[in-house]
Amino acid sequence: MGETYKEFHRRSIERREAFWAEQAALVDWHKPFGKVLDYSRPPFAQWFVGGETNLCYNAVDRHLKDRADQKALIYISTETNQERIYSFRELHQEVNRFAAVLQSLGVAKGDRVLIYMPMIPEAIFAMLATVRLGAIHSVVFGGFASHSLAARIDDAKPKVMVTSDAGMRMGNKIPYKHLVDEAIRLSRFPPEQVVIVNRGLDPQMPLTPGRDLDYAELRSRHMQAEVPVVWLEASEPSYILYTSGTTGRPKGVQRDTGGYAVALAASMKWIYCGEPGETYFSTSDIGWVVGHSYIVYGPLIRGMATVVYEGVPIRPDPGIWWKIAQDQRVTVMFSAPTAIRVLKKQDPAYLKKYDLSSLRHLFLAGEPLDEPTAQWISNALGVPVIDHYWQTETGWAILTAVPGVEKTPVKFGSPSFPAYGYDVRLLHEQTGEEVGPNEKGVVCIVPPLPPGCMSTVWGQDERFVSTYFSSFKDRLIYTTFDWGIRDQDGYYFILGRTDDVINVAGHRLGTREIEEAISTHPAIAEVAVVGVADPLKGQLPLAFAVVKDAARIATPEACQALEKEIMAAVDKQLGAIARPSRVHFVTQLPKTRSGKVLRRSIQAIAEGRDPGDLTTLDDPAGIEQVKAAVAAAKA
């Protein structure tokens, strides 16, 4: 009988170096490492010291021997109705061409390349080409506002920027070039050159002679290029990715090279159970960490084909993802709870229309997965749905089921157990002591952080320590800033941010718990709960809910009746103390482009304050809905 997951995890903590030395065999090394871990300068951990490798080599070159003609990258755009498939051999050629272009512009080891691109193959070529050269990429989500882009330019100080004339969303063109020009105008450390992948979407695109260069023209000069791989010591940086919601100077998560390659290779085997030659479909975007880890590097390192999808889950119809899964024989799929909640509002016939027999697992992450949504998609797909929890900072899962080691039962609403390599503790926010079963604590990790996690904040080592390791006096403990509980069986549940806790008359309530209770009502598709200042009780919970059927709120009387039912549902689940002061009905919630609900802005509007930075907002209609609901309640 094989090793249980409990034993596997214990070994990863108690015999850390031996465990990770085993996992390191999953990637190719140009030069073997001399030491698995150097933790002589806590909390900074250096993994696979002295070893030399390269992310591009592991993702592309090493597969040429055995699978050169196998699919590597499957590009599908429902925005432009294009589909392009690249084998590993073709991917290798395109990456070499892009690397030669960057090299011709002076990009070398340690330089930064800022990538501001839609979900097109050239964006992935640019990422792989950058790390091939030993340079450092910083991908910024395409369409980010100019001042946000300028702040990232000034922090990363890129030598070259790669962009496109435009992105597409819901059939609408989103021109990028004017945003790029404005960001460069605002920045103190602008890039020397801007390489433009011209899709022909913006004929009016302005060009700056001498600075702006056409990628197609540059590429034509390097068609036969063979650019040697630059080998990096394992701890040298591979990329910078800026976390959202930061104020002041941006916070650039810095990732290493060797530890990241090993962590992803191991996760593809143990967590995702993907096999070489199969197809992986992550519905994310390369602007976010999921896109880095599980659109680009993870699947390719494993020798899988990866789907690069430009489009939304409901266009041309809500069956598009499942059609892709059928047509490409997808075995592993990765998405976000928000997207599944969007699909939950659609006709279930779309899920039954396609042959999903190839699909083995659906993984969801990015925000807590509520039980009703988990139950719905699990029943609809008939495959294991695995909720897992992680952060931009960690690069891969902190809490997850690990079916490649042991098929443990899943509990809906729980991301299961600590992933191997993570020494997770739930600590009391004041005392720092461990809490018991079913007691709320802050989700923390005892360092050293495992391979693949951030190595520091780019250019700000002190900020790395002060932000993540200073919550508890006299102890270096990494904090996730999330509340969690662990039940008597060892399953973890995430309750939301530590700073999303409402203090109602001395009772501490997580907004997540109230949202979960409201979601149990069959009429509710989605909900956001915020704490609003109250002179009597300190704070009161206020709910904004999206209904599945507009007929339920067609009249003021119907709204009142449904609001009463929801209050009763919360009373039943959590008690009257958690009952929202009001439930406002809206047709959509304000969300970022990555699908996260802008709770801070909702709270600000409810309290009559400025909603703050809305540059990451996907659709302004959501904010307008909240404003209208609040205004109507006051009228």
User: Which among 398, 217, 168, 383 has a CA at the least distance from the CA of 293?
Assistant: 398
pLDDT of residue 574: 74
576: left (phi > 0), else alpha (psi -120 to 50), else beta? alpha
List C-alpha distances in Å: 363 to 129, 194, 299: 29, 37, 14
Q: In this predicted model, what pLDDT tens digit does every residue of 354-392 receive, in sequence order?
A: 999 999 999 999 877 888 889 999 999 999 999 999 999
Among 5, 8, 43, 46, which Cα is nearest to 479's? Answer: 43
Q: From CA 531, how far away is CA 541, in angstroms rounded?
A: 5
Parallel, antiparallel or unpaired: strands 417-418 and 399-400: antiparallel
pLDDT at 345: 84
The tens digit of pLDDT for each residue in 381-439 reads 999 999 999 999 999 999 999 999 999 999 998 999 999 999 999 999 889 999 999 99
3-state secondary structure of 509: strand
Q: Which two tokens stand for residue 272?
A: 């995702």
Give which of 395, 341, 393 is closest to 368, Cα–Cα: 341
Task: Look up the pTM and report it.
Answer: 0.85
Q: Does residue 144 surpass a pLDDT of 90?
A: no
Where helices occur in 187-297 by DSSP H, the ranges are 215-220, 258-270, 289-291
Q: What is the dihedral of CA 74, 78, 81, 82, to 10 degrees?
A: -20
* Residue 387, both tokens: 């909720």
Please report the pLDDT score of residue 613 as a whole number: 77
Give the tokens for residue 455. Answer: 């190595």
Q: Three-state DSSP class for 246?
A: coil
Residues with Cβ < 8 Å from 87, sequence gap 6 or more? 68, 69, 70, 71, 72
pLDDT (mean) for 57-77: 98
Q: Which domains does the chain have, with CATH numbers?
A: 5-311+388-482 (3.40.50.12780), 505-634 (3.30.300.30)
The amino acid present at 352, given as its one-letter code, is K
Give 486-523 pLDDT, tens digit per residue. 999 999 999 877 766 676 765 667 788 899 889 989 99
Work out the burial of residue 583: count CB atoms within 10 Å of its CB; fewer than 13 is exposed, 13-18 middle, 19 or more buried: buried
> Higher model confidence: residue 45 or residue 512?
45
Contacts of residue 598, defined as CB under 8 A and 6 or more positions apart, other chains included, come to 590, 591, 592, 611, 614, 616, 617, 622, 623
Question: What integer pLDDT is reported at residue 248 of this predicted model?
Answer: 57
The percent of the chain in helix, strand and coil, each rounded to the nearest 5, is: 35, 25, 40
Task: Name every residue whose Cβ is closer than 8 Å to that of residue 172 and which is 6 or more positions away in sequence.
Answer: none
The pLDDT value recorded for residue 246 is: 38
| SS3 state at 89 | helix
Asked if residue 599 lies in contact with residue 620, where contact means CB atoms within 8 angstroms, the answer is no
